[in-house]
Every structure is written in structure tokens, then in C-alpha cells.
Structure 1
């Protein structure tokens, strides 16, 4: 079986993630191809698409949100993702058991003695009028029935059990808006697809196939780490006849779509600025294809990364209209120059062309 080394996996990831060269995809097609973008920080998906797409403008994504073509909802790993409306409708039921289990893991003590089916029924009655509500408004409506339960436990559990979206202006370009929840079916005027009644798992197969298109080659542990779903072995087994297999340097089996891009490891990789919590980093159990183990912890802190030669090499922040880059390793003069050039483009994007100020900090000792 062919062994793919770390650099080969890196270049495959960059190609699948639209990070090897700017893509001409539309923003809607890019969100679909990437299986969504992690979006608990509302402005981060704009950078995620800017760094991937040729000629991306923020208004294009804002229009997709207000036009109900993409939505913000809890999905993979019980995190807020920006996904297409079609994927939200198709995938939500497959994620519901995981969402329920994860919220119970957090609030098991607070929810002791509460009939969760009763809680869901009460919540659906409250939300049946189609009015958007804040978390505080939802929990206030439930408090009379469960006065001794912490409101946050009630609210988080409710939106995990009932498919909801976070409505605009939350998530629009430069908007500073709180979260207002509305059932997915109300916002999209369609009910989410129900689970398969015959015990098969076509949605799981779609998730696995789509994941490999955007993240492969990958191990089943990587797939599980990305989506948070434990019950996909049957779906993967059903897909095996249409997949190809490799091994990584650790000996793990990696699966892939046969015609998906696997570029020559020598392919040059340009500097790229990633937003916080980008799935190009978070979408794997073994993230060494893109980030050194020593820096893995940064990926869950909200750090924004700079890729140099395809690997996480620096972090970046923006304060006082200046993009500041902090290296994680010594940089060559050519690397510092490339980072500065791309940082200027990012500063211009974030300021609507008002500034191109960028500062690359000294190399750490």
C-alpha cells in the first residue's frame, strides 16, 4: 500500500481546502465544498473565504445569509458552523443524537431529574409562533416549569435538541449583533430531512464522501474528529468499494476518493492567512500534516494562523488597523517579505482599502 508522507498529505489538504491557489468558486459553492466553515466567531468566515477565493467581497457572503442560502447553526462537534441551507436540512437529523449527548456531558448534573422529551416538547410549543428569541427569552419562558434548573443548561439543551439557526444580522459583515434563535424549519420554510427509516445511513455516507473531497486523504479517526459523530463505521464500510486506500508514516490507513487531487509534494505553497478555528487545522485527529505538535494547543484557543510553505508558522492579530504577525519559528528574509505582502492585502481587505499596515514581529528567541 502506498505511503503518503507528511508533505504529500499537506499538499493534498491545501488543494482540497482551496489554499494552494485562489479558487474561482462562488462563495456558495465554496461553503458547500468545504462542508461549511466554523463560525462561532461571526466575522471569521469572511477571512476564511477571502484567503481562498479569487475576488471575494464581504457583501457576497452577507447576501447569502440574508437570502437564506447559508445559515449559522450548531452542527459538527456542537460548534456553530456556517453551512449551506441544503446541507443544514440534510445533515441536522444525523447530528441530533451527538448534539444531545454532548450537551448532556456538560450539564448532566444540572439536568438530573428532567424529562428531556418534556423539555423538547415545551420548547417546540414556545417556538411554534415563528418568533426569533434570544437565549434569555427562551429560558425565561421555560423557567416557570423548571425554576431550580440553571437557565443556561435549559437553553443550551433546547437548541441542541431542536434544529435552530442564528438569524442575521448576526454573522453579517461588520455587524455587532447578539444571537437570536429561530427553528430551522421556520427560517428555511422546510423541515429537516428525517433519519433514514430503514436503518441505512445515506446521510453518513454523504458526510464521509464530502469530508474526503474537502479534507482527504484521511483516516476514519480524522472523519470522526471533524464531525463529532461516532457512528460512521457502517457508512465508511459501505463506501469502501468506491474509495482508494493509502497509509501514512504512522501506519494508519487513509481513505480517499480516487479522482481527488493529490498534488506533487514539491508543489509550491503560497503564504495564506487563516481565520480563527479554521477547519483546515481543526478538521483532523492527526493535525501534523499542517501544524507541528508543539503548537497544536493553539488551534483550540482561537489563534489565527499564517501558513508558510503550507504549514502553521506564525499567528496574526489585528489591532488599531494593523495586522500584526508573530512568528512561531525563525523566518528567512524571503518568508518575512512574503508574509508582509500578504499581510498588506489582508489589512486592505479588513479595512475596505483604508490601510495596508502590517507588522511582522521579530523572530522568537
Structure 2
């Protein structure tokens, strides 16, 4: 740096944790009123595990009424599930859906379409793209008539959906599957169908399908502009953070990530705990007030826990092994003032149990105990088992 150059603004880990508490709606003074507010604050709720959506909302709403959450998802449809960042399923608000479609979901849908076409045409010699398209059109027509349907319902109307293919031949995980699963996944990735109400309760991942709106019909920005808008939203919610964090969260190439950050107006900042410079919005450089002390029990795959690639500023690296599975999926976590300090689980009798990996003091312990009791009362008779089990969650739930 030349003598005349201005030093980069410095934002330390404590300030990052203060922003997290405020912006992720985790401290009491900023709890949200609606599910849509939460989804926008986090840019989407991880939805690979159906229970995560409801539990993430519960932790951030002033009045987490399960009926109101169902209404947003299945009646008002102000939250929609989209396959987008990192080819992961998110529940996003209809406000942000066009931006996310242009920046992430549309490219994911293109890859899903390419993979499906190759899988079908190579595995079924009497199928070509024309036949695949014809079966899909009949499937969409059948769904339009029914209004909502399971895969089995649609296969009754379109018998070709029962056709089977071997996936991953010769591998230890080889499996024979009906082509309906991949066809419906591709149609959903394109927005032409949507996941509707589950067949079971809010923990069920077995959804009925309903007609959707193709992403090509959304008023989405052009890809470069959409990426710039998404980068700006992400930095407002998750910044300051590194270029690698943004690249990991979005699944973009490094080139697209850098261009999007530049177009978003991001400026470099020093992050003392990071060897790489951080990125922040130019109006987000001043210190923010420390929030009141807060504790939270967040579910497996919660957007906050999975929000950054580099997590040392809120997670002790020694705690990674008990809290994550081998694929990098985080389990249920206990938070205190912007740090992960432990894990929680539900026992077969419904009780909420927890274990602290860090001694954060008596105030933290009492706050966590209170949050665990609130969670137990809210869950009631429902049993929650994370889709991806982690070592400490398994131990606690036994």
C-alpha cells in the first residue's frame, strides 16, 4: 500500500456477530411479524429438510403460529420452494423469486434439463427428446386437471412415468428408479410445477405437486443484473464476508462472483480473523450496536449456520466434527450471542435435550434452557429427526 493510500475499513468478528443477531432476526428486539420477512432477511430458508423451514421461522418470529406458516406456503403462496443456490432447495419469497430465478435457479434448471435428457435418451433407446417433451406435456395437462397430485396419481394418468431406469450402474449405490422422479424434479426446477402441501405434517418431505409458473414467464432481470442484485441482497444480510463466502453460497464461478460483487458496489474491508479481505456494502462500514444477549436453538441446515464457507468467527473449528456430517451438512445448533456453542436434539419421548461444547457462563446456560423449553412447548407432540444425522445429534437423541 502506498503512503497516500487510505487503509481499508476494519470490521472485526464481534461486529460481524452483532450484525448477524440483528439482521437474521435472532435477538428479541428484531423478531419478525411474518414468514415473508424472515425469508427475505435470510434470502431464503433451506428446504431440503422440510422441518427446517418451520423451525427456522419459529426461531425468528414474534408469534410463530404453525397455521400462519402453512398459509404462507400453501394458501397465500407467498413463499415458494425453488431449486437454486448450490442446487439446493430453498423456500423464498415471491418478492425475491424473480431475482433468484435469474441469478441462480434458471442456470440450475438448465443443468437439470440437460442431465435428464441425457439420462433418458441414453438409458431408454426408444426415447428421444421429442418423446420426453410429449410425456411432460401430458403430465402437465393431467396435473392441471387434478389441481394437485402425487407422483403416483400422475403415473396413473400418464403410464410412461412408471418406466424405470438404473441410476449409477455398477456403483455400490446403484438403484432402479421410476423416471417420474427425475422428470418431476426437472419440471419443478424450471418452475413449471411446484411442491404443494405435504402428504403428512410439516416434517414430511412427501409433497403433492401443483401447477407452477415457468421461470421464463417471470419478470426476472437479465442474468448479470440478477447476480448483482442477489450479491447486494446477500451482502446486506450476510456481509461483511469474503469473495469465497459469496462464491460458495451462490454456487457461481469465481469470475461471475467477482463481477457481481463489483456491480453491487462492494468495497474491500479488513476482517482480522480472515487471511483474505472481506466485502461489504459502502453504507455498511460504520459500527452497529451490540444486540441484547440472545440464545437460539436453530435447526439442521439453518440458513445462518450454513451462510458462510469460512465459519471460524462464529464456530470453533474443533467443534466441526461433532456438528457436521461427512457431506458438510450441519445439524441442530445452540447459539449464544452470535456463536455456536453446542447442539440440541429431540429424544423419542419428545423432550428437547442439549449439550454445550463451550462454557459460555451461567447467563447463557439459563437462556438456552429457557429456549429449549419454548421449543418443546411449540413442537408439542411432533417428532423431528433431521434428514442428515450428525454425530452429536445422534448421541443426544438416543
Alignment correspondent of 2:82: 73
SS of residue in 2 equivalent to 1:86: coil
Residue pairs, 1:116-265, within 5 angstroms:
119=132, 122-129=135-142, 130=144, 131-136=147-152, 141=158, 143=160, 148=165, 150=177, 151=179, 152-169=181-198, 174=202, 176=204, 178-185=206-213, 191-193=217-219, 196=222, 201-230=224-253, 231-240=256-265, 243-249=266-272, 250-260=274-284, 263=287
Post-superposition offset of 1:342: 1.8
Which of 8, 17, 22 is the matching residue for 1:15?
22
Alignment correspondent of 2:370: 341
SS of residue in 2 equivalent to 1:185: coil
Alignment correspondent of 1:296: 320
Post-superposition offset of 1:246: 0.6
Out of 297-306 and 257-266, give the one that drifted further.
Answer: 257-266
Structure 2 unpaired stretches of 5+:
1-7, 167-176, 382-394
Per-residue CA deviation, residues 297-324 of structure 1 (Å, 9 max, x unaligned), is: 5344451100023211111112323110
In the alignment, is the contact (CA less than 8 A) between 1:119 and 1:158 conserved in 2? Answer: no
What's the TM-score once normalised by structure 1's chain length? 0.79
Give me the whole-angstrom Cα distance separating, in 2, the residues matched to 1:234 and 1:67: 36
In the alignment, is the contact (CA less than 8 A) between 2:200 and 2:206 conserved in 1? Answer: no
The alpha-carbon distance between structure 1 residues 183 and 212, as it changes in their structure 2 partners (threshold 3 A), is farther
The alpha-carbon distance between structure 1 residues 325 and 145, as it changes in their structure 2 partners (threshold 3 A), is closer
Which of 296, 304, 317 is the matching residue for 1:272?
296
Give me the whole-angstrom Cα distance separating, in 2, the residues matched to 1:218 and 1:117: 46
The alpha-carbon distance between structure 1 residues 81 and 322, as it changes in their structure 2 partners (threshold 3 A), is same
What's the TM-score once normalised by structure 2's chain length? 0.73
Give me the whole-angstrom Cα distance separating, in 2, the residues matched to 1:285 and 1:106: 30
Post-superposition offset of 1:124: 4.1
Post-superposition offset of 1:111: 6.7
Post-superposition offset of 1:162: 4.8
The alpha-carbon distance between structure 1 residues 223 and 139, as it changes in their structure 2 partners (threshold 3 A), is farther
> How many pairs align?
346
Post-superposition offset of 1:264: 5.3
- What is the alpha-carbon root mean square deviation over aligned residues? 3.7
Give me the whole-angstrom Cα distance separating, in 2, the residues matched to 1:305 and 1:295: 11
Post-superposition offset of 1:78: 2.0
In the alignment, is the contact (CA less than 8 A) between 2:98 and 2:220 conserved in 1? Answer: no
The alpha-carbon distance between structure 1 residues 169 and 179, as it changes in their structure 2 partners (threshold 3 A), is closer
Structure 1 unpaired stretches of 5+:
353-361
